[in-house]
Structure 1
C-alpha cells in the first residue's frame, strides 16, 4: 500500500493548532487526534483511504493518503482533497469577518483568543442531521454518548495500524430499522422517528447537500428543511451552518449561543431574541462564523 503526500496551501488566517485543539475536544469516534496530527479513514465510493493531516510548515498542510484497498488512490485524490478543504472550510475568505469582528464588542476578545479557527464542518449531511437531532434539548456530554452508541451499533469499524476507526452509519441502515431498536440507544422515541424520517428523505433524494447548496437562498433552504418531520428552524440552521456552509446561517434560538453572548458581553442576564437580533445586526453575512466562535468560548 503506497502512500502519497499532497501539500495544501492555507489561508493566512488559518491556525492548524487552534483547529486541532478544537477537534481534540470533540472526542469523536470517526477520527483520531495526536499532538500534531489528525487521522481518519475516509470511505469513498466503497473504498477506504487512510489520511493523515499535519502542518508541513507555516501556511501549508501535509495530507498523506494511503489506500487500504487495491484501488489506486490517484483516482480519488480530488475527492479526498475536496473533503479535507470542506472539513476545515479552507476556501472561505475571512478577511472582512475579522475586520468586522475586531470592532464588535461581543466578538473582539473571542477572535483574539481563537484567531485562526475555522468553522469545522461535518461534510456528511446525514451525520450532521443526526448530531443536530441528538443534541436537541440535552447537554453536550449526553448527546456525545448517544452519538457514540449510534455509531457503534450501525456504523462500520476499521482497524488500521492497531487503531480503531469508525465510519458514520449510512442512511440506508436506518431506513428499514425498527423504532424499538433505535430506542435502545437511549434517545427518545420522537428523536428515533425524526432520524428515521431524515434517513428516508436522504435515501429518496428528497434532500441532498448539492440541492441545498444550489438553492443559494437561506430562507428557501430553511423552508425546504423544515418540511421534514422533526426539523425546526434551529436544526435547519445548524445543518446549513455545519454542513452546507451558508455563511449567514444563524441558529438564533440556541441556548449555548445566548449564554456565550452573555459571557462575551459581560451581561447580567441572557439576552432576548430581539436583543440578539440587534447585537447581530453587525454580523450580516458572517452569522455562522460569529456563532461558531461564540460557541467555542463556552464549549
Structure 2
C-alpha cells in the first residue's frame, strides 16, 4: 500500500483550465468509475500505475484559484516527479492551451461549445496502457458492464493507494495483468489480448511520449499491430491515452453525427468533416471532445 504524501507541487496552466470542469466530465465518464466521487469541489483524487516503473502512486489535485493548481503526491520519493508528469498529461496540462480560445473566435460553432464547457480540457486515461486495456475489455459489450469488469481487475490485480484519508484502487500494473485468469467476465481471447497489451507496455511500446513523438498516422499503425486493436481503438489510445492534442478522429461516428447537426451539413461525409476540422488545428482532439460531450448531453 502506498500512503506517503510529499510536499505539494504547483502548476500554472497555459490557457484556460477549470479543475471543476474536469471533475464534472469524469462524473459522466464510465471508465472513470474508480474516481473518488466524494472529493470536494475543485478537488480530484487519482491512483494509477506510473508509466515506466509501473509502481503505484496517488495524487490529490486542488485548484486554489484560476491558474493555480496544486498536486500532492503519494508515491516513493524517486517516483514523485514522474507522478506529477503523469497527472499533468492526464489533465492535458502538458499542452499549451493559450491558443485554444482563438479556435472558437474563428469558428462560432466551436465558440458556442467552449462557452458551454468553459475551462474543459480532455481528461485522459492515466496511460496509453490503461486506455488499451479499456478498449480490449469494452469491445462488443456495454460500457457499464466493461467498467465493472475493469474495476474487478483493479481490485484483484491492482493495489490500494491511501491518499488524504481515502483508499483508492489503482489499476493492475503490466506484470500483474499478465497473471490475469478467469472468471472475471471476459472470454479467454480477451484475457490473452490483455496479456499482450501488458507485454507491450513492459517493452515500452505504449509509452505516451514516444507515441506522441511519432507522426499520428505512424503511431496509429504501430498501435494496430497489437492483437484486438483496430482503427477506432488505436485512435482512442493515441488521443485519450497518450494525449495527442491534434488528431481528427475519423472513426468516431458519434462525433461525426454531432458535427453534421451543429454545422447543419446533414449530407457531409467523413472527408468533408475532416476539412471542417482543419479549422480546429492544433487542437483537433480537444475540439472533438467538446462535440462528443455535447452529443452525449443532447441525447441524455
TM-score bucket of the superposed structures, by smaller chain: 0.7 to 0.9
* Number of residues of Structure 1 aligned to a counterpart in Structure 2: 288
Structure 2 counterpart of 1:149, from 146, 149, 152? 152
TM-score normalised according to structure 1 size: 0.82
Per-residue deviation at 1:158? 3.9
Higher RCO (C-alpha 8 Å, min separation 6): 2
CA RMSD of aligned residues (A): 2.9
Cα deviation, 1:199-237, whole Å, max 9, x if unaligned, reads 22223445533432332x111111111122211121111
Per-residue deviation at 1:101? 3.1
CA–CA separation in structure 2 for the residues paired with 1:140 and 1:20: 19
CA–CA separation in structure 2 for the residues paired with 1:130 and 1:49: 19
- In structure 1, the residue matched to 2:171 is 168
- In structure 1, the residue matched to 2:225 is 227
Compared with structure 1, are the counterparts of its residues 66 and 100 closer, same or farther at alpha carbon in structure 2 (3 Å cutoff)? closer
Q: Which moved more, 1:272-281 or 1:221-230?
A: 272-281
Structure 2 counterpart of 1:38, from 33, 44, 55? 44
- In structure 2, the residue matched to 1:260 is 258
- In structure 2, the residue matched to 1:55 is 63
Per-residue deviation at 1:168? 0.7
- In structure 2, the residue matched to 1:278 is 275
Any unmatched runs of 5+ in structure 2? none
Any unmatched runs of 5+ in structure 1? none
- In structure 1, the residue matched to 2:9 is 6
TM-score normalised according to structure 2 size: 0.81
Q: Which moved more, 1:39-48 or 1:132-141?
A: 39-48
Compared with structure 1, are the counterparts of its residues 17 and 272 closer, same or farther at alpha carbon in structure 2 (3 Å cutoff)? same
Contact 1:38 1:54 in 2 (8 A): yes
Secondary structure of the residue aligned to 1:102 is helix
Contact 2:33 2:147 in 1 (8 A): no
Secondary structure of the residue aligned to 1:94 is coil
